[in-house]
Amino acid sequence: MQKAASLPLPPADAQAASDTLTARIGESIDAAGGWIGFDRYMAMALYAPGLGYYSGGSAKFGRDARDGSDFITAPELSPFFARTLARQFAPLLAQGLPRLLEFGAGTGRLAADLLLGLEQEGQLPQTYAIVELSGELRARQQATLAQRAPHLAQRVTWLDTLPATFDGVIVGNEVLDAMPVQLYARSGGRWHERGVVRSHVGEPAFRFEDRPLADADVPEALCAIPGDHDLVTETHAEAEGFARAIGAMLARGAAFFIDYGFPASEYYHPQRAGGTLMCHYRHHAHPDPFLYPGLQDITAHVNFSGIAHAAVDAGLTVAGFASQARFLMNAGITELLMELDPSDAGAFLPQANAVQKLLSEAEMGELFKVIALTRGLDDNEPLAGFARGDRCHAL
């Protein structure tokens, strides 16, 4: 585990908020008899009202640690990410689906740049709704929209609950990876659920503790992992429940989720013995979820097979699954970039570098995937983003 000492110290007010959250999590552990599942810990660390990482005041998104941020996402990196999504969404809006719904909108950059992109495509949606768990982020989204796309901001509304039915286009960038996961450890050939307990005095507040599982309680996805060597991995009940909820809600249209992750065969590959749990604090990635509760992001990669199967169970079609690089190139990111004047190096080079990060195999191009889940779309109009390199067969 990364030593806290090697990471930047939080300011006193942030440390005080983290101490309050630590006390709350400790009380929940006591109330549960001394042990809670990791999913419950992660839910509190990220979403406890006013104190969790996403519901509290951390800067979160940004380019480097000097602005107090912890990580950067594709919409923050380059407006060409949203512009390219707009090219994929415009023909869908033209098919009589004039509404957009975004989950987990971060700073609001994707919403603002998507609206600007759709305006350029001549396909502005009638409404753009955002489902955001964090009140603090909702305020930031309003400020970003007012600053970047003031003439379009009045189209945007915020929803507290999912609509019962929805016709239109749904999008979520890096939302599935922010949903709480269960942790499991196989040791000595036996499966255990890895949960969280209070530590001994003088140590960090929490530590892992494994509880043996009866064979009947071992999740199906884990039973299929061959061998009996020791390993740690995750399951994704909340993200899969979310995919089912999208299936129940989407009457006609398409949902696009972009995130880092793999199909199950890669996710649960015997060689991935350490799992994918990862934390981000001030642009340091490290594996310790107990560092500064509420002040750092905690994520796990997405098992896209689990998402696909849950969506299909709920009546959706998996219309495409591709690497982010493939999807963006198919949907026309390089043509969009070429609209800039390459001889204007000051304007062109930073944008070209950012697009290179989105596409490069060594950066976001291969690890990040795009999945499209649809219902009731015209089969004669396949989604351009999956025209080449579709990997649905791997799910």
**What is the distance of C-alpha 179 from the center of its chain?**
8
Burial 122-149 (b: 16+ CB within 10 A, else e): ebbbeebbbbbbbeebeebbeebbeebb
Site stretch for ligand SAM (CB under 6 A), options 22-30, 71-79, 144-152, 331-339: 71-79
Q: How far is the CB of 279 from ligand SAM (least distance, A)?
A: 12
Residue pair 169/373 in contact by the 8 Å Cβ criterion:
no
Q: How far is the CB of 323 from ligand SAM (least distance, A)?
A: 17
Q: How far is the CB of 230 from ligand SAM (least distance, A)?
A: 30
- Here's the x/- map for ligand SAM, 233-272, by CB under 6 A: it reads as ---------x------------------------------
CB closer to ligand SAM, 121 vs 238: 238
Residue pair 84/336 in contact by the 8 Å Cβ criterion:
yes
- Name the residue with the smallest CB distance to ligand SAM: 104
DSSP state letter for 351? H
Residue pair 137/105 in contact by the 8 Å Cβ criterion:
yes
CB closer to ligand SAM, 61 vs 386: 61
134 binds ligand SAM (CB under 6 A): yes
CB closer to ligand SAM, 242 vs 268: 242
Which of 25, 82, 131, 250 is close enough to bind ligand SAM by CB under 6 A?
Answer: 131
Q: Which position has the token pair 């983003």?
A: 385
DSSP state letter for 19? H
Task: Count CB atoms within 10 A of the CB of residue 332.
Answer: 18
Indicate the Cα dihedral angle 50, 51, 57, 60, nearest 10°.
Answer: -130
Residue pair 302/358 in contact by the 8 Å Cβ criterion:
no
- For 202, counting Cβ atoms within 10 Å of its Cβ (0-12 exposed, 13-18 middle, 19+ buried), the class is exposed
Residue pair 171/114 in contact by the 8 Å Cβ criterion:
yes
Positions in 41-60 near ligand SAM (CB under 6 A): 54
Which of 36, 86, 152, 175 is close enough to bind ligand SAM by CB under 6 A?
Answer: 175
Q: How far is the CB of 347 from ligand SAM (least distance, A)?
A: 23
CB closer to ligand SAM, 73 vs 191: 73
Site stretch for ligand SAM (CB under 6 A), options 168-176, 211-219, 340-348, 372-380: 168-176
- Here's the x/- map for ligand SAM, 6-45, by CB under 6 A: it reads as ----------------------------------------
CB closer to ligand SAM, 75 vs 385: 75
Which of 80, 103, 128, 304 is close enough to bind ligand SAM by CB under 6 A?
Answer: 103
CB closer to ligand SAM, 185 vs 255: 255
Q: How many residues bind ligand SAM (CB under 6 A)?
A: 21
Site stretch for ligand SAM (CB under 6 A), options 149-157, 173-181, 186-194, 349-357: 173-181
CB closer to ligand SAM, 24 vs 138: 138
CB closer to ligand SAM, 14 vs 133: 133
CB closer to ligand SAM, 141 vs 192: 141
SS3 318: strand
Nearest CA among 226, 128, 214, 133 for reference residue 180: 133
Which of 84, 88, 144, 173 is close enough to bind ligand SAM by CB under 6 A?
Answer: 173
SS3 132: coil
Give the Cα separation of 285 and 296 in Å (integer): 10
Indicate the Cα dihedral angle 374, 380, 385, 388, nearest 10°.
Answer: 120
CB closer to ligand SAM, 174 vs 390: 174
Residue 28's alpha-carbon distances to 21, 31, 33, 204, in angstroms, are 11, 5, 9, 17
Residue pair 53/185 in contact by the 8 Å Cβ criterion:
no
Residues near ligand SAM (CB under 6 A): 54, 61, 73, 75-76, 103-106, 110, 131-134, 137, 173-175, 178-179, 242
